[in-house]
Structure 1
Amino acid sequence: MKIKRSKYHLSYYHILIYIISQLWSGTDSEALPGYSINAPRSVTVQRGLCVFIPCSFTVPEKERLTRSAKGIWYNKDDEPVTSRRNSQYENNERFFLLGDVWRGDCSLYIEDPIYKDEGHYRFRVEDNIKFTYLDIKPYVKVTDLTDKPEISPIKSWIDGATVTLSCTSPGTCVRRTPKITWTGDIQNRRQANSLNNNEDGTKTHVSTITFTARKEQNNSTLSCTVQLKGGLTTVQQITMKVEYPPRAPEIKCSINTKEPNIPSSRGCTMDANTIIYPPDESQLSLICSADSVPKSSLVWKSSTGTLNSSFTGKLIFTNLLLTDDGIYTCQATNPHGSKETSVTIKITWLGNLLDIGASSETLDITKMSHSFRLKFGNAVRLGSSSKKEEEDLQTITGTKLMKAAHISG
């Protein structure tokens, strides 16, 4: 009998060792009927933010938990970081056991994690039974803060429109309230902060600004900065797009003459009435531009109709003729409006094709079959000073005589 008792005693000892090994080896405590835990095996959280680890556990049915059941979470150093018995908490202000332990809820919440928090965590329940779950020991990985605030909506606005933008802080923390600030070329703005409660008990922090869009803000930057505990900051920046109709087009000109003694810039300066006096047979370029967003299409028009349409706004006369005299209009158009500016071209005669010579020389226009130019200062004597002959001379030259040429009878 003594031997049998010794054998039984040895068997009990082996069973006890087996149970202890299962509890602490982390292999599979499912071998103990009724004890199980369900939680993610690993989670990742950024510094300054927070993480929610959903967790549930069971005990054997005969070991029904009471409302006094206590749950405890331990870190990798076997130090308790948070516990809860009914509604009483014990924590270090960054770890929280959120669930009702007696209901089998072991959900863990961590705020403002630091690098030394990284590691495995294990859960233990204490009531009429005491048991540590090792099947799943969630591993918490702590990384650098990389998430940025979210600014919305991101789109284009019209000059003068009322704009409302929201900046949402990264993370959904329960107890921490981040500081949210806006930076940019925003005048007379109204700012409000709000707190949204989420279904899982966490909170989302939002800052909203309202202002009037101005065309001067186009392509300027607007930033939202979120400052977290410990001086950690994260910034989101957008480029503002403000659209507006075209302003009155601006017209510039350049000229290239064929006369070697005439400066290339001569005749290209517009006077107060936007009149240009270019030499005939020169090349004149008119360049039209208009400030607008989006970019305007530019159309050149004259009394004869539309000349060209493009985004470059260039109108080039390769060889000016007297018949090119007239008013030219540049019209700028985009989806928000249209503006136009006009310029007048008046051709100036320079040089001569027909050098008449002495002022007393008589020119018989009835024998001329080509057009000509008059040299400055030449006097032209018409064989007869009749109205009909003056009109014939004007017809031959292709335009009315310029004031620069003096005609004497």
Structure 2
Amino acid sequence: MSVFPFMVCLFFLYQLVLVSSNGAYYAQLPERIRALSGSCVQIPCTFDVPEDKLKNAESTFGFWIKTGHLFKNPPNLVVFNGSANIINGFSHIEILGNLSQRECTTVFYDVMKNHSDNYYFRVEMYPKNVNWFYTYEFYPVNISVSDSPQPLILKPNAQKEVMENTTVNLNCSAEAPCPKHPPTISWTNIPESAHITTQLQEKPDKTHLMFSHMTFEASYMDHKKNISCTATYARNSSNDSTVETTVMLRVLFPPKETHITIDPSASVSVGTNVTLTCKSKASPSNNMTFSWHKRGQDNQLDLGEQLTFTVNSGGWYFCIAKNEHGIQMSKEIQLIVGAGSVSLESLSLIIGCVVGVSAFLLLFLLITLFLRVQRVKASTIRETNVSDQGLEKQVQISSIYANGAFVSGEELEMPKDENDIVHYGEIDFSTPQTKSTTVKSSGQETLYAEVRGPEKEMNQD
């Protein structure tokens, strides 16, 4: 019983030395992987072993060993045991690849800073109907865990010079140690004509990165614009991690937006000192030149950004800006020249005249208004008097008609005395005139009126 285990161990050592010495196996693993704490890390892995060993294997298991490559105590150095499905020190470890197809890509989840170490991969193949197995161990991969993401790579780098109206390409890449949860990439200060594509890419060592490509047509409006690329990583914590990089774009272009400013103003008097300033945008601008011109004159007035002179006549002025990439002429601007300056005495006289005329007009307006009010009052009084006279006439006529009605309706008594003789007047309604009789008696005049009825009734009487 004691001899058989010893013979098995000897045979196992022989197989291990044999495959190790003939160099018939190897693994493709990255030498180093940087991981972000609170996230996962994926280790790309493929291996090759003798074809007959793999073909004859009934079962194949993978192992990951921390720090050392020897499969021995302490057992906590074996962080993953595929044959027993044991995980030590991690929340979860998953071999994504099919070991029978020589694929051993593995994901370590929820890595922390204390997980930084060398990790060795080991594969065991158990042939059919035997009590022994083949084992292969490979060079390690170093996993370095950090609390912050790796810096971004932005190409081209800062101070990139491009010519206006040419196509610009910017590439931003961020490491993706956990392809199952890759970072997201965003851009700021994007040019209007920009087109952006973003995708997850595999690097030659089988690790991954998130790659974002921006293309646009350069405009002079983009000159000295800071274009930023930002990568955001999701983590098993309350805060995500971000990393950013920026490039300043330099666009080369001829003068743009050339125009003139006037100090003090476009309307001045003879003898005034005027300064014209030519402003323009260009890149480069340190070697830009300016020339001044006036409509109707063939020769230029002067060179330089500013033109200062004493005004003696008006006219139309323009400037021309120039750099190594082109020229641009400004719009013409008119300088209007008025009369000479007004003295203080003349100005006082003008103000006095204006005040005097204004006072006279105001007084005239008040007098006119007063007279108009007086005329309105007088007209109102006349209308009132006419109305009163008309009312008196109506009262008299009403009295006359009332007396006539009284006479025609009652029997008249004969006077008892000669002095009491009543004199009568007659009003004939058959004619348009009113007939009246006046009788003098005792020194007084008495006016009587008689109302005569229709002729038919008079004849009957």
Q: Taking structure 1 as the reference length, what is the TM-score of the superposition?
A: 0.52
Count of equivalent residues: 306
Alignment pair present for 1:137 and 2:140: yes
Q: Is the 8 A contact 2:44 2:206 kept in 1?
A: no
CA, structure 1 residues 329+239, in 2 after alignment: closer, same or farther (shift >3 Å)? same
- Tell whether 2:300 aligns with 1:306: yes
1:45 alignment counterpart: 34
Distance 2:306 2:319 in 1: 10
C-alpha distance in 2 between matches for 1:209 and 1:62: 50
2:257 aligned to which of 233, 244, 247: 247
Amino acid across the alignment from 1:270: S
Q: 1:271 deviation in Å?
A: 2.6
Relative to structure 1, the CA distance from residue 237 to residue 120 in structure 2 (aligned partners, 3 Å threshold; closer, same or farther) is same
Q: What does residue 60 of structure 2 align with?
A: 69
Name the amino acid aligned to 2:32.
V
Look up the match of 1:270: 265
Superimposed CA distance per residue, residues 31-51 of structure 1 (whole angstroms, 9 cap, x where no aligned partner): 665674445684141426856
Q: Distance in 2 between matches of 1:168 and 1:66?
A: 42
**Hey, what's the Cα distance between the residues in 1 that align with 2:111 and 2:30?**
18
Q: Which amino acid aligns with 1:239?
A: M
**Contact 1:252–1:287 (CA under 8 A) maintained in structure 2:** yes
User: What is the rounded CA distance, in whole Å, between the counterparts of 1:63 and 1:151 in structure 2?
Assistant: 45
Cα drift, residue 168 of structure 1: 4.0
Partner Cα separation in structure 1 for residue 314 and residue 10 of structure 2? 113
Cα offset for 1:123? Answer: 2.1
C-alpha distance in structure 2 between counterparts of 1:131 and 1:345, whole Å: 99
**Is the helix fraction higher in 1 or 2?**
2
Q: Does 1:80 align with 2:90?
A: no
Aligned residues: percent identity? 18
For 1:287, give the aligned amino acid. Answer: T
Q: Do the aligned residues in 2 keep the contact of 1:39 with 1:138 (CA within 8 Å)?
A: no
Deviation at 1:288, TM superposition (A): 2.2
Amino acid at match of 2:123: V
**CA deviation digits over 1:117-166, x for unaligned, max 9?**
2112222222225455456333333345232164779665859x998866
Comparing 194-203 and 234-243, the one that deviates more? 194-203
RMSD: 5.5
1:276-310 CA distances to partner (integer Å, 9 max, x unpaired)? 7446xx8x76432224455354222352423555x
Tell me the CA shift for residue 112 of structure 1.
7.0
Q: Which digits, 9 at most, give the CA deviation of each residue in 1:94-128, with x for residues without a partner? A: 75545543354445566775322211222222222
Equivalent position amino acid for 1:305 in 2: N
Where do 5+ consecutive residues of structure 1 fail to align?
Answer: 1-5, 254-268, 351-409
- Superposed displacement of residue 17, structure 1: 12
After TM superposition, the structure 1 = structure 2 runs for residues 310-389 of structure 1, keeping only pairs within 5 Å, are 313-315=305-307, 328-333=317-322, 335=325, 338-342=328-332
CA contact (8 A) 2:35 2:143 kept: no
1:102 alignment partner, SS class: helix
**Match in the other structure for 1:288:** 278
SS in 1 for 2:57: coil
Larger radius of gyration: 2
Contact kept? 2:260, 2:318, Cα under 8 Å: no
Residues 346-365 of structure 1: per-residue CA shift (max 9 Å, x gap): 999x9xxxxxxxxxxxxxxx
Secondary structure of the residue aligned to 1:72 is strand
CA contact (8 A) 2:151 2:174 kept: no
Unaligned runs of 5+ residues in structure 2 are 68-75, 127-131, 341-461
Distance, in Å, in 1 between the alignment partners of 2:83 and 2:172 is: 35
Q: Retained in 2: the 8 A contact 1:43–1:53?
A: no
Kindly provide the CA deviation profile for residues 234-291 of structure 1, in whole angstroms up to 9, marking residues without a partner as x.
11223355668522422345xxxxxxxxxxxxxxx3334xx67446xx8x76432224
